């Protein structure tokens, strides 16, 4: 038998091996192969039981996700799993690696399951916008009960072998590392014990609470924040109360409903983009070592980056200006671990021991001499950055990489004050840096490929998503953010309340709205940024931030002063609107001579999306982002863009580029400077193309 599935026999036990690297995904050829192998097993009079294994690193990790969105090809995975279960002789799945999604469904089709101790199983379909669609929603509750099945399927979490055994998902655990031998031994024992075929479909679902499914549906709806398949997972699991044949039909209906929804396409786009984003021209270069990192500045960012490095197992030297600042820096690092200690994830002694082993503190730049990488996180002014880079250039060892965490400043100008611009890049972390997953890797005109590759290596070590960005004001994320924040400000001046805008943006799927975000970050940041650009601002551009300047003057800086757009009395993390805001905005409108008009939430989102798409198209068109998918990943991992919409470029494709361009042209009539259409957007519309076409180019 050729192809990705082979049938062989070891004495009286058949071995069916699935070999489709890298993860043994269950594409058409594999499904065909399993059907043929089961037929061979049934016909093989000398085979008393069969063991299914995955070759290489894993039991199948799921259906072949790249087949989604294409016309279905027989045999369906459901029929493959049914075929396994209907075999007249016992079939055993011997699991290692990650048996996920369709991979677990194949195992659930088998009559018995044995897992390696290190194996993980799960039904992560929820993260792809679908539901388990090959019996997973019907067999899992039969095996482990409805409550556990709902938890497992709606979270999509990976379950370790020991827990899977406890739950009843697997029947035995083996620690030998040899899945074939373990499967055969299990099969022999089964036969010796006189056990045989045991079909999960014959079992009944247990539910202790009659109202369980209604409660689970409400919980899923509350958690979903617009992602529709969570509730559908519960609906499908409820159908396991029906006879299996009927339940499987219902499961297929719900699967198809989810599969055909744009949310599925968006989530699959996010899955593949999360991996593609690291595929950059410099990826082939060899990264430099990353054993010791120097961090200059122990403020918000320096302390967060320090924690991120230590969590990745990398030793850190943190340098501050003087002994008092060093002590503050250390306290900031410790604060990042405070909740880990109070929640019992580590003891105070463990924290102290970890910091003693991994963190060196100093007020002297000389302490940076042995560092492989030095990340500067000092105040955001070019003068200070230049001074710091000149100093570290003199101290850092040859080959050391010099990085800036600047949010906006010109990396090439910073590199130019060193004698090694090829070793300089931007590493733009997001706050809190030990939690936020985005890392913009800003490539200067002279940055060497292996320096870029080291940036991506650091992202991998820190379990972050590295996104390659070119040099411009704000790189990818902050540059686009600047535009949709500005359009939000314009709408406030023109008549929308900031609270309505926050609500509309939350309903779109963001965790918080732009004005809540301003309060969180601190309104002083935007104010200082505007003041810094005073002399260079385009005089044709509408200012739009007068009311924000008034807030700064009032000391309404957001959460840090307990009052901003919202009232955070007593240090609360959320609160009611600040009653002073609307009168202040009304006064600002009057001064500007603006007669306020009404905005609907739909118009708010149209303008927000138009501003975001237009600037993102400029960012891609200018080569600041390599591809639209890089913008999407920056937005998802750094700015709270709803994953189930895939990212702003994916969403723009979904809405239709022509319709977004038409909006922009309409808004352009009011303000030709702000709304100048991006040349790339115009070109794509003229050519009838989508942003997605550029991802595969």
Task: Indicate which residues carry an active-site annotation.
Answer: 105, 125
Should residue 321 be labelled a site residue for ligand NAI when binding is judged by CB under 6 A?
yes
Return all residues near 24 (Cβ < 8 A) that are at least 6 apart.
4, 18, 30, 54, 55, 56, 58, 59, 60, 61, 103
Out of ligand NAI, ligand 3HC, none, what residue 406 binds, judged by CB under 5 to 8 A for its kind, is ligand NAI
Should residue 306 be labelled a site residue for ligand NAI when binding is judged by CB under 6 A?
no
Return all residues near 60 (Cβ < 8 A) that are at least 6 apart.
18, 20, 23, 24, 25, 26, 30, 54, 99, 100, 102, 103, 106
3-state SS, residue 6:
strand
- x/- map, 75-94, ligand 3HC, by CB under 6 A: --x-----------------
Q: Compute the distance between CA of residue 635 and CA of residue 476 in angstroms, rounded to an integer.
A: 9
Q: Which of 48, 64, 320, 632 binds ligand NAI (CB under 6 A)?
A: 320
State the sign of the Cα–Cα–Cα–Cα dihedral 191, 194, 197, 199.
negative
Report in angstroms how near the CB of residue 256 gets to ligand 3HC at its nearest. Answer: 11
The stretch near ligand NAI (CB under 6 A) out of 401-409, 466-474, 564-572, 592-600 is: 401-409
Dig out the tokens for 127 from the structure. 């993260």
CA distances, 505 to each of 147, 265, 378, 510, 640 (Å): 34, 22, 32, 6, 11
- x/- map, 557-586, ligand NAI, by CB under 6 A: ------------------------------
Q: Which of 4, 33, 83, 102 binds ligand 3HC (CB under 6 A)?
A: 102
Should residue 247 be labelled a site residue for ligand 3HC when binding is judged by CB under 6 A?
no
Out of ligand 3HC, ligand NAI, none, what residue 133 binds, judged by CB under 5 to 8 A for its kind, is ligand 3HC
Is the Cβ of residue 421 or residue 628 nearer to ligand 3HC in the bound state? Answer: 628
The residue assigned the tokens 């090829």 is 422
Is the Cβ of residue 522 or residue 580 nearer to ligand NAI in the bound state? Answer: 522
Should residue 63 be labelled a site residue for ligand 3HC when binding is judged by CB under 6 A?
yes
DSSP classification of residue 122: E
Q: Which of 159, 301, 485, 487 binds ligand NAI (CB under 6 A)?
A: 301
Beta strands 112-116; 159-160: pairing state: unpaired
Near ligand 3HC in 6-25, by CB under 6 A: 22-23, 25
The residue assigned the tokens 């089964």 is 190
566 has which bridge partners?
577
Near ligand NAI in 152-171, by CB under 6 A: none
376 has which bridge partners?
296, 404
The residue assigned the tokens 């990396």 is 411
Q: At what angle do helices 477-494 and 546-554 cross, to 10 degrees?
A: 90
Should residue 528 be labelled a site residue for ligand NAI when binding is judged by CB under 6 A?
no
Q: Which of 4, 101, 304, 329 binds ligand 3HC (CB under 6 A)?
A: 101
Near ligand 3HC in 105-144, by CB under 6 A: 105, 124-125, 128, 132-134, 136
Should residue 61 be labelled a site residue for ligand 3HC when binding is judged by CB under 6 A?
yes
Out of ligand NAI, ligand 3HC, none, what residue 63 binds, judged by CB under 5 to 8 A for its kind, is ligand 3HC
Q: Compute the distance between CA of residue 654 and CA of residue 651 in angstroms, rounded to an integer.
A: 5
The residue assigned the tokens 């038998």 is 1
Q: Compute the distance between CA of residue 17 and CA of residue 12 in angstroms, rounded to an integer.
A: 16
429 has which bridge partners?
439
Report in angstroms how near the CB of residue 521 gets to ligand NAI at its nearest. Answer: 6
Q: Is 475 left (phi over 0), alpha (psi -120 to 50) or beta?
A: left
The stretch near ligand NAI (CB under 6 A) out of 126-134, 320-328, 541-549, 679-687 is: 320-328
Out of ligand 3HC, ligand NAI, none, what residue 101 binds, judged by CB under 5 to 8 A for its kind, is ligand 3HC
Q: Which of 406, 486, 614, 635 binds ligand NAI (CB under 6 A)?
A: 406
Out of ligand 3HC, ligand NAI, none, what residue 296 binds, judged by CB under 5 to 8 A for its kind, is ligand NAI
> What number of chain residues touch ligand NAI (CB under 6 A)?
23
Should residue 470 be labelled a site residue for ligand 3HC when binding is judged by CB under 6 A?
no
Is the Cβ of residue 4 or residue 470 nearer to ligand NAI in the bound state? Answer: 470
Should residue 498 be labelled a site residue for ligand 3HC when binding is judged by CB under 6 A?
no
Q: Which of 30, 296, 459, 545 binds ligand NAI (CB under 6 A)?
A: 296
Is the Cβ of residue 199 or residue 560 nearer to ligand NAI in the bound state? Answer: 560
Near ligand NAI in 427-466, by CB under 6 A: 429-431
Out of ligand 3HC, ligand NAI, none, what residue 297 binds, judged by CB under 5 to 8 A for its kind, is ligand NAI
Q: Are 588 and 550 spatial neighbours (Cβ–Cβ below 8 Å)? A: yes
Report in angstroms how near the CB of residue 548 gets to ligand NAI at its nearest. Answer: 17
> How crowded is residue 349: how many other Cβ atoms within 10 Å of its Cβ?
9
Should residue 378 be labelled a site residue for ligand NAI when binding is judged by CB under 6 A?
yes
Q: Which of 484, 474, 490 is nearest to 619 (CA)?
A: 474
Out of ligand NAI, ligand 3HC, none, what residue 440 binds, judged by CB under 5 to 8 A for its kind, is none
Q: Which of 12, 79, 300, 315 binds ligand NAI (CB under 6 A)?
A: 300
Q: Are 2 and 8 spatial neighbours (Cβ–Cβ below 8 Å)? A: no
Out of ligand NAI, ligand 3HC, none, what residue 512 binds, judged by CB under 5 to 8 A for its kind, is none
Is the Cβ of residue 273 or residue 559 nearer to ligand 3HC in the bound state? Answer: 273
The stretch near ligand NAI (CB under 6 A) out of 31-39, 94-102, 294-302, 593-601 is: 294-302
DSSP classification of residue 283: G
> What number of chain residues touch ligand 3HC (CB under 6 A)?
24
- x/- map, 253-282, ligand 3HC, by CB under 6 A: -------------------x--x-------
Q: Are 157 and 291 spatial neighbours (Cβ–Cβ below 8 Å)? A: no
Dig out the tokens for 180 from the structure. 């074939």
Report in angstroms how near the CB of residue 429 gets to ligand NAI at its nearest. Answer: 6
| Burial zone of 626 (CB within 10 Å; 0-12 exposed, 13-18 middle, 19+ buried) | buried
| Burial zone of 456 (CB within 10 Å; 0-12 exposed, 13-18 middle, 19+ buried) | buried
Out of ligand NAI, ligand 3HC, none, what residue 125 binds, judged by CB under 5 to 8 A for its kind, is ligand 3HC
Q: Compute the distance between CA of residue 127 and CA of residue 159 in angstroms, rounded to an integer.
A: 15
Q: Are 134 and 120 spatial neighbours (Cβ–Cβ below 8 Å)? A: no
Report in angstroms how near the CB of residue 132 gets to ligand 3HC at its nearest. Answer: 4
> How crowded is residue 113: how many other Cβ atoms within 10 Å of its Cβ?
29
Q: How far is CA 2 from the centre of its chain?
A: 38
The residue assigned the tokens 């890298």 is 22
Beta strands 5-10; 13-18: pairing state: antiparallel
Q: Which of 497, 533, 531, 530 is nearest to 514 (CA)?
A: 497
Residue ranges binding ligand 3HC (CB under 6 A): 22-23, 25, 61-66, 77, 98, 100-102, 105, 124-125, 128, 132-134, 136, 272, 275
Residues lying near ligand NAI in the complex (CB under 6 A) are found at 296-302, 319-321, 325, 377-380, 384, 388, 405-407, 429-431
């Amino acid at each position: 038998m050729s192809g990705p599935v082979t049938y062989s026999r070891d004495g009286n036990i058949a071995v069916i091996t699935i070999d489709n690297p890298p993860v043994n995904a269950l594409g058409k050829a594999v499904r065909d192969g399993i059907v043929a192998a089961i037929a061979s097993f049934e016909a093989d009079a000398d085979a008393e039981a069969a063991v299914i294994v995955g070759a290489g690193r894993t039991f199948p990790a799921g259906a072949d996700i790249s087949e989604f969105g294409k016309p279905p090809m027989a045999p369906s995975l459901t029929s493959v799993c049914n075929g396994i279960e209907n075999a007249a002789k016992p079939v055993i799945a011997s699991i290692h690696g990650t048996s996920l999604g369709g991979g677990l469904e194949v195992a659930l089709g088998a009559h018995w399951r044995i897992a390696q101790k290190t194996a993980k199983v799960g039904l992560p379909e929820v993260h792809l916008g679908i539901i388990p669609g090959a019996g997973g929603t019907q067999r899992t509750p039969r095996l482990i009960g409805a409550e556990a099945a709902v938890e497992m399927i709606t979270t999509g979490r990976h379950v370790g072998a020991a827990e899977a055994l406890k739950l009843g998902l697997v029947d035995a655990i083996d620690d030998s590392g040899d899945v074939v031998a373990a499967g055969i031994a299990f099969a022999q024992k089964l036969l010796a014990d006189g056990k045989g075929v045991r079909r999960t479909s014959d079992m009944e679902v247990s539910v202790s609470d009659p109202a369980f499914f209604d409660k689970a549906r409400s919980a899923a709806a509350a958690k979903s924040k617009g992602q529709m398949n969570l509730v559908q997972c519960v609906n499908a699991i409820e159908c396991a109360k029906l006879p299996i044949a009927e339940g499987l039909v219902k499961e297929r209906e719900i699967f198809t409903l989810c599969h055909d929804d744009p949310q599925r396409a968006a989530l699959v786009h996010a899955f593949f983009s999360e991996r593609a984003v690291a595929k950059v021209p410099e990826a082939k270069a060899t990264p430099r070592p990353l054993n010791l990192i120097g961090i200059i500045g122990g403020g918000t960012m320096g302390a967060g980056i320090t924690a991120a490095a230590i969590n990745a197992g990398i030793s850190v030297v943190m340098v501050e200006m003087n002994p008092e600042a060093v002590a503050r820096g250390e306290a900031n690092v410790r604060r990042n671990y405070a909740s880990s200690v109070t929640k019992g994830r580590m003891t105070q002694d463990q924290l102290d021991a970890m910091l003693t082993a991994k963190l060196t503190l100093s007020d002297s730049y000389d302490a940076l001499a042995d560092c492989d990488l030095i990340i500067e996180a000092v105040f955001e002014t070019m003068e200070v950055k230049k001074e710091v880079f000149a100093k570290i250039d003199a101290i850092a060892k040859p080959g050391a990489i010099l990085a800036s965490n600047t949010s906006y400043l010109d990396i090439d100008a910073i590199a130019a004050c060193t004698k090694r611009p090829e070793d300089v890049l931007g590493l733009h972390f997001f706050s809190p840096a030990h939690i936020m997953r985005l890392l913009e890797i800003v490539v200067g005109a002279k940055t060497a490929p292996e320096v870029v590759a080291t940036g991506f290596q650091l992202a991998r070590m820190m379990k972050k998503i590295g996104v390659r960005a070119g040099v411009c004001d704000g790189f990818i994320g902050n540059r686009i953010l600047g535009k949709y924040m500005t359009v939000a400000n314009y709408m406030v001046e023109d008549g929308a309340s900031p609270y309505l805008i926050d609500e509309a943006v939350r309903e779109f799927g963001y965790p918080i709205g732009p004005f809540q975000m301003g309060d969180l970050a601190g309104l002083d940041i935007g104010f200082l940024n505007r003041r810094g650009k005073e002399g260079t601002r385009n005089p044709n551009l509408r200012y739009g931030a007068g009311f924000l300047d008034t807030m700064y003057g009032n000391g309404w800086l957001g959460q840090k002063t307990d009052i901003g757009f919202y009232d955070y009395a007593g240090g609360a993390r959320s609160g009611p609107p600040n009653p002073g805001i609307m009168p202040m905005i009304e006064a600002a409108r009057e001064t500007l001579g603006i007669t306020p008009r009404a905005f609907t939430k739909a118009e708010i989102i149209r303008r927000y999306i138009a501003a975001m798409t237009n600037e993102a198209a400029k960012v891609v068109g200018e080569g600041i982002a390599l591809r639209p998918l890089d913008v999407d990943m920056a937005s998802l991992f750094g700015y709270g863009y709803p994953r189930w919409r895939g990212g702003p470029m994916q969403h723009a494709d979904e809405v239709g580029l022509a319709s977004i361009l038409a909006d922009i042209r309409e808004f352009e009539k009011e303000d030709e400077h702000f709304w100048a259409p991006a040349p790339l957007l115009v070109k794509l519309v003229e050519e009838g193309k989508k942003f997605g076409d550029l991802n595969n180019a």
